[in-house]
Amino acid sequence: MVVGLPLDLHGGELEAITPRARKFANRLKGRFGVNVELHDERLTTAEARSSLFEYGGYKALGKGEIDSQSAVIIVESWFENQYQ
């Protein structure tokens, strides 16, 4: 499994949310017994918004659509980093 790791623009941890993402990843690992990797999710929301806007304008910019597209970007980025 891949879980997005929220970081600031300089790669530092965000006080309120980064520890929550780490805790979530640990819970997934404990509950399902699978490997969980954390992957940098910096700027994925901005990239998702841009991508969705290109295809559907403002109508495509709902929170669910942005979150879904961000998840796709995180997983694709994780796969790309596996083969570098």
How much is the pLDDT for 23? Answer: 98
Residue pLDDT tens, the chain, 84 long: 999 999 999 999 999 999 999 999 999 999 999 999 999 999 998 999 898 888 777 776 888 888 999 999 999 999 999 987
Topology of domain 2-82 in CATH is: Nucleotidyltransferase; domain 5 (3.30.420)
How much is the pLDDT for 3? Answer: 97
Q: Are 50 and 15 in contact (CB under 8 A)?
A: no
Question: How far apart (Å, rounded) are the C-alpha atoms in residues 33 and 25?
Answer: 11
Residue type, 25: A
Q: What is the 3-state secondary structure (H, E, C) of the chain?
A: CEEEECECCCCCECCCCHHHHHHHHHHHHHHHCCCCEEEECCCHHHHHHHHHHHHHHHHHCCHHHHHHHHHHHHHHHHHHHHCC
